[in-house]
A and B are shown apart, each in its own frame.
Chain A
Amino acid sequence: MAPFTVHDGLVVPLDRSNVDTDLIIPKQFLKSIKRTGFGPNLFDELRYSDAYDELNPDGARISNPDFSLNKPEYAGASILLSRENFGCGSSREHAVWALCQFGIQCVIAPSFADIFKNNAFKSGLLPVELPEALVDNLFAHVSTGKPLNLSVDLNNEEVRLPSGEAVQFSVDPFRRQCLLKGLDDIGITLERVDAIAAFEDKHRGVQPWLFNEVVV
């Protein structure tokens, strides 16, 4: 995973609450056995005016000009601004992959669903929780039509506005370190393999039935 330290980018708004992972990447794209290739289908049902044709997966699509991600003024945006409970619903990590592969590196919202937030950190997508009033202000700024560029600084846990003002956010310390250094979770855990083995022995002593062979 690439480290995340400071990211400067253009904000694109998605003014809805409870954006669910079905909306982020619909199920017809979950048939893939790969980890890549989801970017073109991010927000598929909002982004295109025509329905996806499974029989012609590479066919040309009609872009929905009213959807924010399609508007020319947001071309190249890498910070998604949305409302509360972003990423609710299904645990599909494909939602995070789709956002990253489209080019989004940070999502700002008043709150995130637990599983999505967890998944985001694993792929280097930074979820930033800001107070609702502040999110309202950012939406108001975007609605004026002027481009909003933000600097998201994970090291100092602050978002810097174009005015120079900085607002603080907070990220779980462990996740922050992993993201700052681009660390692989499995590698970190395997450093504790002795502790895992010791726990396993103790656990087997107390609940031996958990270690029965599964015969299928």
Chain B
Amino acid sequence: MGLTLYDKLWDAHLVDQRDDGSALIYIDRHLIHEVTSPQAFEGLRLAGRQPRRLHANVAVPDHNVSTDPNERALAGYSGVADATSRLQLETLNDNCNDFNIPLIDLADQRQGIVHVMGPEQGATLPGMTIVCGDSHTSTHGAFGALAHGIGTSEVEHVLATQCLLTQKMSNFRVLLEGDVQLGVSAKDLALAVIGEIGTAGATGCAVEFAGSAVTALSMEGRMTLCNMAIEAGARAGMIAVDETTLEYVKDRPMAPRGAQWALAEAYWQTLHSDDDAVFDRELRLDASKIEPQVTWGTSPEMVSSINGRVPSQQSLPDETSKKSLARALEYMGLEEGMALTDIEVDMVFIGSCTNARIEDMRVAASIVQGRCKAANVERVLVVPGSGLVKAQAEAEGLDKIFEAAGMEWRAPGCSMCLAMNADKLAPGKRCASTSNRNFEGRQGSGGRTHLVSPAMAATAAVAGRFVHPSTLEI
């Protein structure tokens, strides 16, 4: 019987399998940020332990950094106005210095969202096991890697042992076949899958995305798709290695070179599911039928096509779902049966580990070019995923396009995806957001989030409401 990609990655990292089903797997790369690591470093100190393999780690501040260009212009962390945030950021630097962990600090142009920085630097490579104290670590599975989020106790465990105590997940293949329509992106594919199987649809599974619509995606699109695997309940999402993968990885700063590259490339080309591999579950979707998606509720599974409507209670099977719908609509300030194209937005956020890479910036800018922010839209934040994305966008003049349209061009960080820093959605305000979670209060207490693609967000910014990007009037 053939092996799935996940089986191969698992087998290549299995240190010890116990009779009780638990296993010890080896971790090749551990990415660290300021929010979920301080307690882990403290744990090491208390137990008198040292990290097992320093160069398996790369740290970067991202969640809690300011994206205000003025605050960032000041040296080090002195510009961080909030004292609690400043302490957390300084603690990351202190811990990395104390334990000799490689750190890309705030002043470094390579600083950015950990899931943008990793692939950019080649810290993310095919065939790796990659963990980080952040659920969107699934992003890195786009490289044919086994990548998933862990909690702080596990961060400490990985630092101390270079291993993770875990259990094998089931194999779930999501096949997306067909050519996608104009204006449809990886984000729409991800939201359509979540709408189909629900936010717990892939709990306990490693999801492999495959099919012609997936292989047609760029690496950035693949990262967006795998990023959202966790929103379907899957800790890990992954995609087989192909020429697109190798081309992206080659010559990245931390990628192997010369003879090592040849060796690595030969190995990486085996990182796909065998033809006769058996999956525990499979979902097939016709990607050519998927339209741009908009979430209307408080969970990513509460999603419809742009031409759809907010559902009504009578369409639902049971009391619990009716109650969830009623609660979500009350929170979102929406009516049953309302057309999604009638929803007006107050704010737009283009950013996050889901959609803040250069292609996302380009798509958004191509829609914004020659247009202006709609009068009813109070603020549009465009937050590049890293300093390198920012520099590239500026070299292409994208920042000027956004600014000319009345939008804010910010410094890199997680920003209003989770709103830990000052970038927040005010109570009752409605936001078109390219991020990954529309939970109650996620972007700010009382804030109302609609998850969309960069094209949809840019269109909403200029139209003032949700519109299919390809029908935007010229």
Show the binding face of A for B, using Cβ within 8 Å. 15-18, 20, 22-23, 26-28, 30-35, 45, 51-52, 54, 83-85, 88-94, 96, 111, 113-115, 118-119, 122-123, 172-175, 177, 185-186, 188-190, 192-193, 195-196, 199-200, 203, 206-216
Contacts and interface: CB of A to CB of B under 8 A. Distances in A.
Contact of B84 (A32, A90, A211): A32
B55 A211 contact: yes
B334 interface: no
Contacts of A193: 161
B21 A172 contact: yes
Contact of B442 (A17, A22, A32, A119): A22
Contacts of B165: 174, 185, 188-189
Contacts of A93: 36, 39, 133, 151-153
A18 B199 contact: yes
A186 B439 contact: no
Contacts of B18: 174
Interface stretch (B120-128, B177-185, B284-292, B368-376): B120-128
Contacts of A96: 151
Interface string B143-178: 000000111111011001111011100000000000
A195 B15 contact: yes
B160 A51 contact: no
A209 B256 contact: yes
Interface in B55-72: 55, 57-58, 63-64
B420 A16 contact: no
Given A18-B199, A22-B441, A209-B260, A115 B135 contact: yes
B234 to A, nearest CB: 8
B324 interface: yes
B264 interface: yes
Interface stretch (B22-30, B380-388, B453-461): B22-30
Given A93-B151, A93-B153, A88 B233 contact: yes
Contact of B55 (A83, A90, A212): A212
Contacts of B64: 30-31
B35 interface: yes
B229 to A, nearest CB: 11
A122 B154 contact: yes
Interface residues of B, number: 87
A197 to B, nearest CB: 10
Contacts of A185: 153, 157, 165
Contact of B133 (A45, A52, A91): A91
A54 B82 contact: yes
B157 A214 contact: no
B99 interface: no
B38 interface: yes
B26 A199 contact: yes
Contacts of A83: 320
A188 B125 CA distance: 29
B66 to A, nearest CB: 13
A123 B260 contact: no
A94 B418 CA distance: 15
B138 to A, nearest CB: 10
Nearest to B233: A113
B199 A214 contact: no
Given A22-B439, A45-B445, A90 B58 contact: no
Contact of B135 (A18, A90, A212, A216): A90
B134 interface: yes
B276 interface: no
Interface string B32-60: 00011011001000010100110101100
Contacts of A214: 55, 57-58, 102, 123, 254
21 contacts: A22-B418, A28-B420, A31-B84, A33-B38, A33-B91, A35-B39, A90-B134, A91-B134, A93-B153, A115-B135, A122-B151, A122-B154, A172-B21, A173-B21, A177-B20, A186-B49, A190-B161, A196-B161, A200-B53, A214-B58, A214-B254
